[in-house]
Amino acid sequence: MNPPSKDIVEILEQSSTGIGYTFGTNMYVGEMPDSPDACIAVYDTGGGQPAPNYTYDYPSIQVLVRGGRAGTTTYKDTWDIAKLVMDALHGLNEETWNGARYIQIIANSDIIAVGKDESKRPLFSIHFNIHRTDV
């Protein structure tokens, strides 16, 4: 079974919401490189206590969405991408990815405006709780 972040990136890549981001090009696991400007990063953030023998997990993830520098994308453009992420993941249930059954993925926050990074690029965060088990 993969870390949840890896599966979530695949879910986002194949989402019908039209995010249009690709792993390794502008979507990453566990890091947000300085380039490209506009990108998505998915981080594993722990979660709830797993069931005995790890038969049922309650992991959580954070998705960061970063826009481009001033003049290339706006705050609203970046928020729109964060909304597509929310639409793709919030409420997703009964999906199987890479040997894991995702029973449910639920946002535990709305889209959070983090502000701008050191290069003045808008940044948004969404946190999700996950219920999953082995297939």
Q: What are phi and psi of 54, to 5 degrees?
A: 50, 40
Q: Is the pLDDT of residue 62 over 80?
A: yes
pLDDT tier at 45, thresholds 50, 70, 90: very high
Give the CATH number, domain containing residue 114: 3.30.2000.10
Residue 102's pLDDT is: 96
Residue that the structure tokens 């999700």 belong to: 128
Q: Is the pLDDT of residue 85 over 90?
A: yes
Selection from 35, 33, 40 nearest residue 81 by Cα: 40
pLDDT tier at 51, thresholds 50, 70, 90: confident
pTM, 2 dp = 0.94
**CB neighbours of 35 closer than 8 A, spacing ≥ 6?**
none
Residues 23-31: what's their mean pLDDT?
96
Residue 92's pLDDT is: 95
Q: Is the pLDDT of residue 89 over 80?
A: yes
Domain span at residue 41 reads: 4-134
Residue 8's pLDDT is: 97
Residue 52's pLDDT is: 78
- The number of folded domains in the chain is 1
Q: Among 32-41, 67-76, 111-120, where is mean pLDDT lowest?
A: 67-76
CA distance 125 to 109: 9
Q: 36 preceded by cis ω (within 30°)? A: yes
Judged by phi (left if over 0) then psi (alpha if -120 to 50, else beta), residue 37 lies in alpha
E-state strands within 1-135: 27-29, 39-47, 56-57, 59-66, 93-97, 100-107, 112-116, 122-134
How, if at all, do strands 27-29 and 39-47 pair? Answer: parallel
Question: Two tokens at 78?
Answer: 């970046």
